[in-house]
Structure 1
């Protein structure tokens, strides 16, 4: 009976983490869905609007690693609850449409509370919900759950915005609704999420930093994230690819974009999580995932721009997206698989995120430049070749990680035999 009760509470806690994960980033990234209304309400130029994104991205990048250190020393429950409430309070202020300078300050603030006090705490909280045999499905369901929540919340709030005539007043309501949801999740998190049993405190910041930075396993996980996330970013250009090169209508392109961004996130994350646990190794599933992505990219590289090939291109696009989202859902499960100590799990996740999410800083500018410089199919060919090279590197990294895991398992097995 106690076991069933514990299992139920654990899934409730995972549901709360999914709910929060699907809500907390809506406010900093609201511009993607409401670009024109927000620009009009704030009175910003395109460059100023872009600067808000840059400030958020820079602060977020700086906060990944120290956020991991913080998660190893403080209660994940308190950190997560604080992050949700602080993000929501920032949202209420944002709904007043402050000056450009204050918007810059607000986005820097959001960069702190959605990364420094949130990201590594989330990764660590999920890891502590189950043992090694469940890590794949836990992280996979987190990815799928985040996608489901952001989709449902986005559609519901968008319908309210439409009913309010898509006005500035309606936009303020959109922001306030997301802010209220974020605070509500924070309150629920505070009262429902459980603190873990007290772990052995990790030592000094410097010692932990040296320990993590010198660990080959952490670097390999960081490179897994980097190579997987590169494809995740690069697939943004597949929607214009099918419309400009293969003649798909704008409506079909938009539909494919929605399927790729939401449906595949829900399906891919959950599916890969369960497969990883069934196989018994997230690293093995990622190895196969790299092979599939390489095949998909080769198909894109060799296919001519013949409009009759549109169905093949669409299937290939959806296959690539499904695998990219699936792998994104399980790459943090490898932290447990390589037996990184729970006492530095936050620092390891933070450092791996710092390296792994570097593509955010350059990949869109790089690929946008190729499309401007080489119009037509050639620009896209450069994108596919670049991603192909990155994924070959990822495949090699996954092989190295599997060797590390095998060596670690052999070492542990040897120790047990000697007992």
Structure 2
């Protein structure tokens, strides 16, 4: 049967999205139970923040080896082992809640269960279930689904926490509920995700012979591929714009004079609502135009335009907050359309399926870890340095975002052009034969 006529892989995609969301919720429980974590663990703000640092550093160190493992071993087994390991780690954490060094070890484990081979294996799994013709749609639906699952999972944890009068036991129960969801994710992967690496690779023309299997030296070949670096630059721009959206919150309160209540509601719509809507729309549009890289380029340019417009809004005018909210929400929607399909650009970059894990790890080092490490520091420095002149701080902030968007758009267009040229060359070669 022609792949394009096959039914959309809803169940495998949902299983992967559920696994991804439930795996990443436990390490970041502090986002909504911050004070309760400090109370439960009896630690300081610095000590609590250090736990996240341990997790991120651990994931960073083992990212490349994790890519090798993801390419060398069975994807399904990696997902099952990584996700399943979260439960005993959480159990250890809630039992020894007052022992800080145990918490450091647990968050180090989280760095392995969510980083290492799990992260590249999940994205590799999406490439596999999406097939050659459904990359954009599958990645788009995956982004929306994992965002929805993560939100529901966090709401369940908050609901469980609210059932306890004692904060310490409430936190323990909330974290434990996340462990239960991880086990449910294990069941979903075991039942619905079929590891069809060999089948998909064969359909794509990749022989699973010794030549088609992963070798460590293949990393050097990937590093020589210009398209891999173009993907990294594209994703760095898209992800950088995405994480910097959170700094629009102090812009609304400190510059535009919006109330905390309005800003809070707006932030939820920006961070969650746009992801659920933008993911599927981005996937469908990318499939319609036949190029996720072209969609990313368009979205990045549109985002640059919206950011410039937002930067020109005059403070103190009538309905200024309303207009700003509309522009920021539309900008966030467009950004989520790009974020949902950014990993699908790997297909246009002609990254071999059997090297997906390694490629994802290399790209992640540049496109995810660099923005995560650098952008908060830059934005925080601007807000602290120009605390008495926030409009000036945000003028620099907007300039940085616009520059990032245009650079990433150029990289995305380059991927599109290179892919077209390679495709044309292959057709000419086939015609001669």
> Deviation of residue 192 (structure 1)?
3.1
Alignment-derived partner of residue 142 in structure 1 = 142
Encode CA deviations 1:109-161: one digit per residue, 9 max, x unaligned.
11111011211101111111133321101001110000111112222331222
* 1:406 Cα deviation from its structure 2 partner: 1.2
Quote the Cα distance in structure 2 between the aligned partners of 1:56 and 1:131. 32
Question: Following the alignment from structure 2 to structure 1, what is the Cα–Cα distance between the partners of residues 27 and 384?
Answer: 28
SS at 2:72 equivalent:
coil
Task: State whether residues 228 and 394 of structure 1, in contact with CA within 8 Å, keep that contact through their aligned partners in structure 2.
Answer: yes
For the residues of structure 1 that align with 2:5 and 2:296, how far apart are their CA atoms? 33
Gaps in structure 2 of 5+ consecutive residues: 202-207
Are 2:195 and 1:189 aligned?
no
Task: Say yes or no: does 1:73 pair with 2:76.
Answer: no
Cα distance in 1 between the residues matched to 2:393 and 2:110: 35
**How big is the alpha-carbon RMSD for the aligned residues of Structure 1 and Structure 2?**
2.0
Does the alignment pair 1:111 with 2:111?
Answer: yes
What TM-score results when the alignment is normalised by the length of structure 1?
A: 0.95
Counterparts in 2 of 1:166 and 1:256: CA distance versus 1, 3 Å: farther
For residue 377 of structure 1, what is the aligned residue in structure 2? 391
Distance 1:5 1:41, change over 3 A: farther
The answer as to whether partners of 1:202 and 1:208 remain within 8 angstroms in 2 is no
Structure 2 counterpart of 1:130: 130
Please name the residue that 2:292 is paired with.
Answer: 282
CA shift for structure 1 position 408 = 1.2
2: distance between equivalents of 1:170 and 1:5? 49
Q: Which residue, out of 260, 264, 284, partners 1:250?
A: 260
* Residue matched to 1:364: 376
Aligned to 2:415: 401
Q: Deviations over 1:209-268 (max 9, x none)?
A: 101111111111111111111111111111121122112111111101111111111111
The equivalent residue for 1:37 is 36
**Partner Cα separation in structure 2 for residue 287 and residue 192 of structure 1:** 34
What secondary structure is seen at the aligned counterpart in 2 of 1:95? helix
SS in 2 for 1:246: coil
2:356 corresponding residue in structure 1: 345
Matches within 5 A, 1:223-238: 223-238=233-248
Could you list the runs of 4 or more consecutive aligned residues of structure 1 that deviate by over 6 angstroms after TM superposition?
1-6
What is the alpha-carbon distance in structure 1 between the residues aligned to residue 130 and residue 37 of structure 2? Answer: 41
Question: Are 1:387 and 2:366 matched, yes or no?
Answer: no
CA distance in 1, matches of 2:49, 2:10: 39
> Is the counterpart of residue 161 in structure 1 residue 175 in structure 2?
no
Counting only pairs closer than 5 Å after superposition, residues 196-345 of structure 1 correspond to structure 2 as 196-198=196-198, 200=208, 201-205=212-216, 207-308=217-318, 309-345=320-356
Partner residue, 1:176: 176
What's the secondary structure of 2:120's corresponding residue? helix
Structure 1, gaps ≥5 residues long: none
- Count residues with an aligned counterpart: 417
TM-score by length of 2: 0.92
